Amino acid sequence: MAGNGEIGRVNLMKQLLDSQDIKEWLKRVPEWDLDKKGIERLFEFEDFQGAIDFVNSVAEIAEEQEHHPDMDIRYNKVRLVLSTHSEGGLTEADFELAERIGLLVGG
């Protein structure tokens, strides 16, 4: 059973961010673009296998964080969209996932 600190953190992470918070977070992940109710980024790899290896790595992180991106794979290109669907927009969980994904590709 989770302690009170964990429960508070989960609730905080799932609250919608206001436009000022989103602007501040976007400064921390400048490679991501704001798109309607989410953030998105296109990743390009040398070949299909590189794209699939990346997707598998993202899947592991997403499972750890219990927060899953929308993924579109087109041969060597992977487009990710992050949004907290249950809240109808962006939460800290989206930006924290974006930061972790960025570490996979060095930025």
We report the CATH number of the domain holding residue 60 as 3.30.1360.20
The whole-model pTM stands at 0.83
Nearest to 40 by CA among 86, 77, 87: 77
pLDDT category of residue 13 using cuts at 50, 70 and 90: low
Q: Give the distance, in angstroms, between the CA of residue 78 and the centroid of all CA atoms in the same chain.
A: 13
Q: For the segment 55-90, what is each residue's pLDDT rounded down to a tens digit?
A: 999 999 999 999 999 999 999 999 999 999 999 999
- Give me the mean pLDDT over the 15-41 stretch: 95
- pLDDT number for residue 11: 46
Residues spanned by the domain of 70: 4-105
Look at the chain and report how many structural domains it folds into.
1
Asked whether the beta carbons of 71 and 102 are under 8 A apart, the reply is: no
